[in-house]
Amino acid sequence: MGANSTKKLNEKKFQILNVIGKGSFGTVYLVKQKGTKKYFAMKVLEKKRILEKNQVKHLQAERNVHKQLNNPFIASLVCSFQNESQLFMVIEFVNGGEIYYHLDREQVFSQSRVKLYAAEIILALEHIHSKKIVYRDLKPENILLDSEGHIRLIDFGLSKILHDGEDGKAKTLCGTPEYLAPEILTGEEQHYAVDFWSLGVIMFEMLHGMPPFYSDNSNDMYIKILTEDLKISDSLDQSTRYVLQGLLDRNPATRLGLDKKGKLNIKKHPFFRGIDWDKVYHKQYIPEFIPKVNNTTDLSQIDPKFTLEKIDNLEPKEAIETDAFKGFSFINEEYISQKPKKKRKGGIRLRACTRVSDDDDDEKGKDTDSDEKEKEK
């Protein structure tokens, strides 16, 4: 890619089709790249609001983190660019809906369904952590489903790249209250273990219909996260109870996820017995739930509170004179190029796909190093 590619890229290259999401600092639209049949999600942010809310550092961190990530279970950053008043981030679009939306409608998921979601999230976290990044915002709203029912993580605004020096440490109190690890609340230095706590909360919520320490009052919830006993349903099998207890261990040093040497140990937990991690990575397990979508632009699985909103006027507003967003532009040629995307050699879908189930013990679990496979592609 060259400098000319990013200079030519702007919002006029995309046709705005629909609102598909809203956040504190901007709106997300379904867009079509003009002259192609490619559809993306485009996040539009106002520079003025980002500056007023002192979010420049977070926004630049989101862009810097996201462009490093390349994993089957993470929605890829396609490109980012800006005009005189707005910032744009174009992301891979999937239309199976948020886990939050489906969980709100169904209340609870089966153990086998949760098992596959958890396995795919673990491979996404493994990749994120391999880049020395702590995610810090794992929650149902940030887990999307594609049209085949596989997950994609989004939103890296709270992620932190860890490195030597004081500014390379993660100590900020940030995240969504229900999913905060105890060490975040107590102001301790944060490492990869905070993401495994959040995974435990999400798995618990999928199986019980409610986060483990939930309260309508945030302060009460923080106290519960720090002190209340974990109450797990007796209807769950032993390995499921054990994996929840391991992930929701208040001591990050002994929490399930990574061993003392920093190597992933959760893949070998009895809860994942029978899982072939190579098959997970290549999406060769058939998800229990497959969203009912008719085509690439079917928005029926996305919350109507977003899709029924009117499209805002996206014409540039008051010009903002600042160097705060210097270097924001980025382009992933693999996605944005008008040339068809190259197919992986040999294909990654096998004819014999297997559904993940709680009694799937006929295959030995494999501790596959997914990131090594990714490097080989």
Cβ density class 222-244: b for 16+ within 10 Å, e for less: bebbeeeeeebeeebeebbbbbb
Query: What is the Cβ-side half-sphere exposure of residue 31, based on CA atoms within 13 angstroms?
Result: 28
| Other CB atoms within 10 Å distance of the CB of residue 309 | 15
Q: Check whether 43 is labelled as a binding-site residue.
A: yes
Cβ density class 72-98: b for 16+ within 10 Å, e for less: bbbbbbbbbbbbeebbbbbbbbbbbbb
3-state secondary structure of 23: coil
| Alpha-carbon 361 to chain mean position | 29
Residue 217 buriedness (CB in 10 A; 0-12 / 13-18 / 19+): exposed
**Calpha distance 54→76 (Å, rounded):** 26
- Cβ–Cβ under 8 Å, residues 200 and 244: yes
**Calpha distance 93→70 (Å, rounded):** 15
- Cβ–Cβ under 8 Å, residues 32 and 14: yes
Single out the residue of 95, 96, 162 nearest to residue 128, CA to CA. Answer: 162
Catalytic residue chosen out of the listed positions 104, 137, 155, 229: 137
For residue 261, give both structure tokens: 């040497």
- Cβ–Cβ under 8 Å, residues 196 and 257: yes
Instruction: State the alpha helices, DSSP H only, in the chain.
Output: 3-8, 47-52, 56-66, 99-106, 111-130, 182-185, 193-208, 218-227, 238-247, 277-281, 304-307, 333-336, 370-376
3-state secondary structure of 225: helix
Residue 137 annotated among the catalytic residues of the structure: yes
Q: Torsion-angle region of residue 60: left (phi > 0), alpha (psi -120 to 50) or beta?
A: alpha
Catalytic annotation, residues: 137
| Numbered residues of the known binding site for ATP | 43
